[in-house]
Amino acid sequence: MPARSAVATRPARLRARLRRAWPLTLRGGGAVVLGAGAIVLAHAVNVAELVYVGVLLLATVVVAWISLWFVHRYGEVSRSFAPDVAAVGHESVVTVHVSARSGLPGTLARWSDVLPEGIEGEATGVVAAGSAGRMRLAYRIRAVRRGIREIGPFGLVVTDPFGLTRRRLRVGGTESVTVTPAIVALPPLAEYPGEAGGSLHTATHQLGEGADNLIPRSYEPGDSMRRINWRASAHHDELMVRQEEQESTPEATVVLDRAATRWSADAAMPGADPAFEVAVSAAVSASARLAREGYDVIVLDTEGMPLGAPVPAGDTVAVEQLGLDLATVVAGGADRLSLIPRFFSTTVAGPVVVITAHVSPADITALSPLVGHSALPILWAADTTADVFERARDAGWRVAPLTPDRDLADAWQLATDRGASRAGV
């Protein structure tokens, strides 16, 4: 049966190729038939005028066809995108500039731009192609899959002013548009203004002990005389200087588990695996939320390698850059989820968001030491049973399922809200 079906489709493919290559329109084909018929009929009825009519019709078709090859000239094609980077679920405007060196007045052309998989839109239209200069065309696209997508080549079907013949052209090449993961607006961390260390106020770390930012210390060569604390100097009977505080922004860490064994084979290509796409979107969305809360955010994989540029607190441009960095991230590498606690074994971190797929009871046991080193440990898992989630809660994790059919903002609220985190998954 498959062999017969392949054979049956061959005539259809052949007809499609002939249709694309056929240079005559319906009107042009009719003109050729009428011209040839007039010449034949002229010999049958012995009317010389019919020969002139037939030759005129055929000559008109030939001249119209030649005009498409020697009169019309199309040069380079360039595209611009607004915005420059597309985001999943958002629209962009593509503007196409086509240089037309010459043409006949009244000539129309049907244009089309080839859209790749993962980009939706109506990239077709009709334009007057008979004027010299540059043609400017615009259409809207909607990105539905993350990654780098190639748009083009640009196609034209040009007809002569009489509509007798047509010519199909492929002008220019392809141009890349980067589709970044969707950034979802997540609810604020209302419950953790002091406990988690963020909420848009900085933490202070002194060079010495105590909380006073005027802690005196002994004078050292090179210290400015303006920093001498005369009252402390009189009390200690030696020169003392003010030791000024160092202000630092609290830090948050987002860990995206890219282990190939935890995701489907489709996750090796950007935009192909819905579960992995939700995980990538969760990583950039959580980073955006934590940056708004006043944290410096870094996104790592389970091997400790940064997946993008750090996001300083409150920097929306850096969030956009992180989305650009994550546009091409794919699943791959060894399973090192159990090694994450080693990253924080010698420090006390702020919020730590771990995003992964399937989590086993052994994974929860291995991740448990991290809870004591994080002010807000959050675990998002794409494929995990309720029993494992309950075990993770008992270990101190704030947990929520991460699935394509669940709203990301609700999953964040479930993980960060105290009461909801005890509810069933």
Q: What percent of the chain has pLDDT over 70?
A: 80
| Residues 309, 334, 251, 391, CA torsion sign | positive
Q: What is the pLDDT of residues 129-156, one digit of tens each?
A: 655 567 889 999 999 999 999 999 998 8
* Phi/psi of residue 163, nearest 5 degrees: 70, 30
Q: What pLDDT, on a 0 to 100 scale, did the predictor assign at position 204?
A: 40
Distance CA 11, CA 9 (A): 6
Listed in sequence order, the residues at least 6 apart from 127 whose beta carbon sits closer than 8 Å to its beta carbon are: 108, 109, 111, 135, 137
CA distance 275 to 256: 13
Crossing angle for the helix pair 408-416 and 274-292, nearest 10 degrees? 60
Q: Per residue in 303-350, pLDDT tens?
A: 999 999 999 999 999 999 999 999 999 999 899 999 999 888 777 778
pLDDT for 81 = 94
Name the one residue in this structure whose structure tokens are 């402390």.
232
String of DSSP letters for 218-279 = E--TT--GGGB-HHHHHHHTS-EEEE--EEE--EEEEEE---GGGS-GGGGSTTT-HHHHHH
Q: In sequence order, what are the residues at sequence separation of 6 or more whose Cβ sits closer than 8 angstroms to the Cβ of residue 26?
A: none
pLDDT band, very low/low/confident/very high, at 104 (cuts 50, 70, 90): low
Gap between the Cα atoms of 114 and 152, Å rounded: 5
For residue 314, the SS3 value is: coil
Residue 305 dihedral angles phi and psi, to the nearest 5°? -90, 130
Give, to the nearest 10 degrees, the angle between helix 274-292 and helix 316-325. 160
Q: What are phi and psi for residue 338, nearest 5 degrees?
A: -70, -10
Of the pLDDT bands very low, low, confident and very high (cuts 50, 70, 90), residue 119 is very high
Mean pLDDT of all residues belonging to the chain: 82
What pLDDT, in 10s, does the model give residues 173-232?
899 999 999 999 999 986 554 444 454 444 444 333 333 445 677 877 766 666 677 777
Output phi, psi for 370, to 5 deg: -70, -25
Residue 9's alpha-carbon distances to 13, 15, 16, 21, 22, in angstroms, are: 6, 10, 11, 18, 20
Give 195's contacts (C-beta < 8 A, 6+ positions apart): 375, 376
Alpha carbon of 208 to those of 92, 213, 221, 246: distances in Å? 53, 10, 19, 10
What is the DSSP code string of 318-378?
HHHHHHHHGGG----S---GGGGGGGGTTS-EEEEEEEES---HHHHHHHHHHHTTEEEEE
**In angstroms, how far is CA 342 from the centroid of its own chain?**
32
> From CA 132, how far away is CA 234, in angstroms rounded?
88
pLDDT-based confidence at 21, cuts 50/70/90? Answer: low
* Per-residue pLDDT band at 272 (split at 50, 70, 90): very high
Phi, psi (degrees; rounded to nearest 5) at 411: -65, -40
Each residue's pLDDT tens digit, 69-91: 776 677 788 999 999 999 999 99
Q: What is the reported pTM?
A: 0.76
Query: Over 70: is that where the pLDDT of 373 sits?
Result: yes
Reported residue count of the chain is 425
Tokens (6 digits) for 205: 């770390």
